[in-house]
Amino acid sequence: MTPRTLPGLLAALAAARPEHVALCLAGGEGAGLTSSQWHRRAVATGHGLLGKGVAPGDRVGLVFGGDGWLDFAVAYAAVTGIGAVAVPLSAASPEVRLRELLDHAGARVVVGAGGWALSELDAGETGPLPTVQPEQTAQIVYTSGTTGTPKGVAASHASLTHGLDPARPPLAHSRHALHAFPIGTNAAQTMLVTALVARPTLVTVPTFDPWAYARAAQALGAGTLFLVPAMASALLEAGVFSRCDLDDVQLVSCTAAALPPAVARALADALPEAVIVNNYTSTEAAPAYTSMVFDADRPASVGRAEGGAELRILAADGTVAGVGETGEVWLRAGDAVRAYHGDAASSAAVFRDGWVRMGDLGYHDADGYLFLVDRESDLVNAGAHRVSTLRVEAALHEHPAVTGAAVLGLPHPVMGATVAAAVELRDPSALAGLRGFLAERLAPYELPTRIVVVPELPRNDGGKVRKAVLRDVFAQAPARVAPRTAAETALAGLWREVLRVPQVGVGDDFFALGGDSMRATRLAALATAHFTRDVPVSLIFDTPVLAAQAELLSGGAGSAGGDDRYLGSESEVGPQVSTRNSDHAPGAAAGGEMPLASTQESMLAWMWATGEPRDVGPISVGIRVRDELDAGVLERALAMVADRHEALRTVFDRAPDGRHRARVLAHCPPVVTAVAARDLDHAGQLCRADREGGFDTVRGPLVRAVLATVGPDDHVLGLAVHHLVCDGASMGPLLREIGVAYAALRGGTGLPAATAGTPLRDFVAYTRQRWETTLPHWRRVLDGAPAHLEPFHGRREAVRLRSAALEFPLPDTLGDGLRKAAAAHGATPFMLIASCWSAALAERTGTHDIVLMSPVPGRSRPESETLIGCLSQSLLLRVDTSGGPSAADLLARTRRIVLDALDHQHYPFAEFYLRHTGAAWLRVETWGGQAHLPGLESESFELPRALDADWPTPGGLPDLQAPELAVVEHPNGSLVAHLLWNHYAFDRSEMDHLAGRVTELFERAVRELVPVPPQEVPR
């Protein structure tokens, strides 16, 4: 029968393996403690304690330094062996703290520093000690106190021995397991108790030093390393893995905190033959824990419950959270329950029915893997957003110069709190580019408004950052420089409006704070109105720092420096959260003829080019709803939203004079079809069939949906809106309004009043007014440009059109490389991708005059952000690839072409499209968030990009259209590319070759354009 007390385990170990060295100190001969020695000395010392009046249940302080680990182990076994309670503390702690904790624990006596020496207690007796029961308290260990006053956690013998079985010794692959945990921490106690059953010798490095630790591991041939994340980072930073032979290491086990993904990846690279494990628990929750073997597909997960433990996540209402739903994390390990010593109120809040509240927020995926969002106490409530400090810290650890990072919230008079970061840097000059680096990985509201460099983060004995101390660091550090002049103040206000950030300083970089091409376009429009002078988008790119921008706009002669790093993306797909309700204010004029936007003109021209109408098809989205959903209420909600938006009630025909026209109907309710689906695959087929079933563009409606029901609370909604009345940027505001309308109807309330804004027809009229100004630019740029890219290698004659698609994920490191390469040359990833695509097309055609076509949202005025309609603009980009230019030269050319096109984006596109129908399409997209219906438990449901339509070519002429390239950046930063082409014109093998060549050109550009840091000369 497995012993359930600590003295029972020690006696069993001594009997089974008396000569086994259970514990030893690193370095030095004769520093080991065999099982029999440990047992004999513990019994003798236990008699000595009894002889001095220590009784079962008394609390005994054990105060030892790192070099006293073996004596500590004897004293601990002696105290627990007589039924007394051990209170382990580090002798390195300040005397005042030691006294506070000893008083709190009610320690009657102290063994070690400041108390009895172990030699005073060895009575030499070997007789039996008092019998100890499993339910008796064995120890009180104090928490780290990183978020407040340390609490003493009392653990019974049953709790400490839970899951330990001498018949199944852990770590059997190792002869030595190494750690450097300070006495008094939960991690150290775990090592001590593990030594009672483990196969290897548990070796302690008295004080952690990267090189001392690594050399000990090498000398011992250690098979297991125990670390906390701070130690792992220190080992990597010191470079020990390249200079020490650690090939014997088979397991690296990290505990105490979540291991940042970047650190886990670096460990896996440094020790490719070892298993990297992250264990998640707490002093309160042990022995319950989750464990995660590092998985590149789940780098941020802390794993699943192990060792008989249970995991649950509770929503705010106390119910069990579903997959992907964030809530409070709780752990349980049977009856192995702990409690706070002398604090019944705190115990009641944390320990419930065997469950332990971890104080963390998290969620689990469909496979049960746990992902932490943040400590409840650390989560930063920045305005309307809740920012995870763990997520920001993980992004900081990705930077090659960051060796340590801590993020916290600082009070803010308006936002409530603002995000701040303290970092340890191996190169202090890297601070200048850190904001830009983070802007590639985080949402604007997640970006730290303050970053300070510290020589060393304040940590406790367990390696955790003491954030309370960091607050004093920020109080002493100077904040960003506030605007000083009227121009800086006004411009800072425009930045805050466009970027939606709480603070802006004169030294801030627009792109480092989250700016991109779209936001630069909006800023240019706002600045034009405020400063009453034309502000091109190129000025924002060329002068990204606020002080330099303000100087230029106020008439100064200064300019921004040329070494600023910034980047952006050209288009976003997927829903974006909208703060306005409608593009059509109540009481605005409705009905009658609507002016055509330039994209609508070109679409209608294409649709009728064959004499018989073709269809450009819908903008569609799939949403899985795991909630109760009423098809009738959904149909009414769609009708309500359509009544508020002219675009959704627009139909198209040809006037008697032959021109295309758009007419707004007074009422044109969308159609919702409710069907039953066998399973999810069938539901996807039904959604795809519905979107491709054809629209009546003359009579309408041009909005429809299919609701495929898989189960009582499981549906797939396929929403299709004809492209003539909708574009990708419209889908976010549209879904939001549908969700609000549905909730209002279900709740019996009215729809909120629409916020007055620029009506759709007014904005379209504004864009058409711009044509007179922009037309000369386009005529000049496109004069003499080819209509098609021909000859095109591998293209055969085809007189019908049918879409085919190939998806090819780009290598993991390529996304980061493209971002860095573009930023190093003052460009965006789109510009770099466009230059590489142009080079690939030039190789395929033998021509150096390449015309690309690429969409932008077209919402060039801030008040147009939430308009629903077909407002996207297609930019024709003429790129000269001649002269064998270097990657840098071609990128510089492309950058200028793109900026000029953005400055002239409103133009009569139909006039030029008909001349350049063979332009090669390029889309670079960034997900703005998963599609969902607000108010309902829902998530994106992927539908194929390509439609299944099959059309004749205009006039039966051969199709000369080049393939289309789309590159999509997903939320985790990975890039997935797609090639789309005419099935009748190209073989799949040709596209496979083209995909490979595009990838090669991306990789070559990164190699040539990313600055190589100077190599350190080994000393």
458: helix, strand or coil: coil
Instruction: Name the residue type at position 539.
Output: L
Q: 201 near 174, Cβ under 8 Å?
A: no
**Residues paired with 32 in a beta bridge:** 24
Q: Could you please state the CATH topology (level 3) that the domain comprising 486-566 is classified under.
A: 1.10.1200
pLDDT for residue 72 is more than 90: yes
pLDDT for residue 588 is more than 80: no
pLDDT (tens digit per residue) in 382-399 = 644 578 888 898 889 989
Give 595's DSSP letter. P
**Residues paired with 950 in a beta bridge:** 802
pLDDT at 570: 29
pLDDT at 813: 83
pLDDT for residue 567 is more than 50: no
Q: Which residue has the higher pLDDT, 534 or 610?
A: 534
pLDDT for residue 657 is more than 60: yes
pLDDT for residue 213 is more than 90: yes
| 841 alpha-carbon distance from chain centroid | 34
Confidence of residue 535 (pLDDT cuts 50, 70, 90): confident
Beta strand extents in 724-871 (DSSP E only)? 800-809, 849-856
Token pair 């795991």 is at which residue?
A: 626
- Write the class of the CATH domain 378-453: alpha beta
pLDDT for residue 885 is more than 90: no
pLDDT at 751: 59
Strands 351-352 and 355-364: antiparallel
pLDDT at 817: 86
CATH of the domain spanning 770-859+866-928+945-1009: 3.30.559.30
Average pLDDT score over residue span 246-268: 89
Separation between Cα atoms, residue 904 and residue 767, nearest integer Å = 10
Closest to 193 in 3D by CA, of 152, 112, 138: 138
Average pLDDT score over residue span 460-486: 75
Q: What would the two tokens of residue 637 be?
A: 């909600």
**Residues paired with 922 in a beta bridge:** 965
pLDDT (tens digit per residue) in 112-162 = 998 999 989 987 788 899 999 999 999 999 987 655 567 899 999 999 999
Asked, colleague to colleague, whether 592-759 and 770-859+866-928+945-1009 share their fold, the answer is yes
Separation between Cα atoms, residue 928 and residue 451, nearest integer Å = 26
Superfamily for 592-759?
Chloramphenicol acetyltransferase-like domain (3.30.559.10)
pLDDT (tens digit per residue) in 288-312 = 899 999 998 888 899 999 888 899 9
Average pLDDT score over residue span 39-51: 95
pLDDT (tens digit per residue) in 780-827 = 999 999 999 989 999 999 888 888 889 998 988 888 888 878 877 778
Query: Counting Cβ atoms within 10 Å, is residue 610 exposed (0-12), middle (13-18) or buried (19+)?
Result: middle
Closest to 878 in 3D by CA, of 848, 908, 856, 833: 848
pLDDT (tens digit per residue) in 233-243 = 889 888 899 89
pLDDT for residue 1010 is more than 80: no
Average pLDDT score over residue span 855-883: 86
Q: Is the peptide bond before 287 cis (omega within 30 degrees of 0)?
A: yes
Confidence of residue 768 (pLDDT cuts 50, 70, 90): very high
Confidence of residue 862 (pLDDT cuts 50, 70, 90): low
Closest to 796 in 3D by CA, of 982, 980, 994, 985: 985
pLDDT at 589: 39
pLDDT for residue 199 is more than 50: yes
Q: Which residue has the higher pLDDT, 692 or 209?
A: 209
Average pLDDT score over residue span 307-319: 88
Average pLDDT score over residue span 761-779: 91
Mean pLDDT estimate for the chain = 84
Closest to 337 in 3D by CA, of 325, 353, 323: 353
Average pLDDT score over residue span 916-925: 88
pLDDT (tens digit per residue) in 833-847 = 999 999 999 999 999
Q: 565 near 433, Cβ under 8 Å?
A: yes
Q: What would the two tokens of residue 927 be?
A: 């997900």
Average pLDDT score over residue span 52-69: 94
Confidence of residue 707 (pLDDT cuts 50, 70, 90): very high
532: left (phi over 0), alpha (psi -120 to 50) or beta: left
Q: Which residue has the higher pLDDT, 1003 or 581?
A: 1003
pLDDT at 618: 87
Confidence of residue 480 (pLDDT cuts 50, 70, 90): low
pLDDT at 550: 87
Confidence of residue 757 (pLDDT cuts 50, 70, 90): very low
Give the angle subtended at the CA of 594 by the CAs of 593 and 596, to the nearest 5°. 130
> How would DSSP label each residue in 463-495?
S-B-HHHHHHHHHHS--PPPP-SHHHHHHHHHH
pLDDT at 575: 29
Element (DSSP H or E) covering residue 833: helix 829-845
Strands 402-412 and 592-594: unpaired
- 307-376 belongs to CATH 2.30.38.10: yes
CATH of the domain spanning 1-167: 3.40.50.12780
Separation between Cα atoms, residue 651 and residue 668, nearest integer Å = 9
Confidence of residue 191 (pLDDT cuts 50, 70, 90): very high
Most confident residue range from 10-24, 303-317, 644-658, 881-895: 10-24
pLDDT for residue 927 is more than 80: no
- In the chain, where the domains are located: 1-167, 307-376, 378-453, 486-566, 592-759, 770-859+866-928+945-1009
pLDDT for residue 52 is more than 80: yes
pLDDT at 947: 57
Separation between Cα atoms, residue 211 and residue 205, nearest integer Å = 11
Cβ neighbors of 239 (< 8 A, separation 6 or more) are none
Token pair 């009227």 is at which residue?
A: 486
779: helix, strand or coil: helix
pLDDT (tens digit per residue) in 674-685 = 999 999 989 888
Confidence of residue 753 (pLDDT cuts 50, 70, 90): low
Cβ neighbors of 1011 (< 8 A, separation 6 or more) are 824
291: left (phi over 0), alpha (psi -120 to 50) or beta: beta
Q: Which residue has the higher pLDDT, 757 or 187?
A: 187
Average pLDDT score over residue span 321-343: 87
pTM of the prediction? Answer: 0.51
Give the angle subtended at the CA of 479 by the CAs of 476 and 481, to the nearest 5°. 145
Q: Which residue has the higher pLDDT, 324 or 952?
A: 324
Q: What would the two tokens of residue 842 be?
A: 């030039």
Q: 701 near 642, Cβ under 8 Å?
A: yes
pLDDT at 584: 33
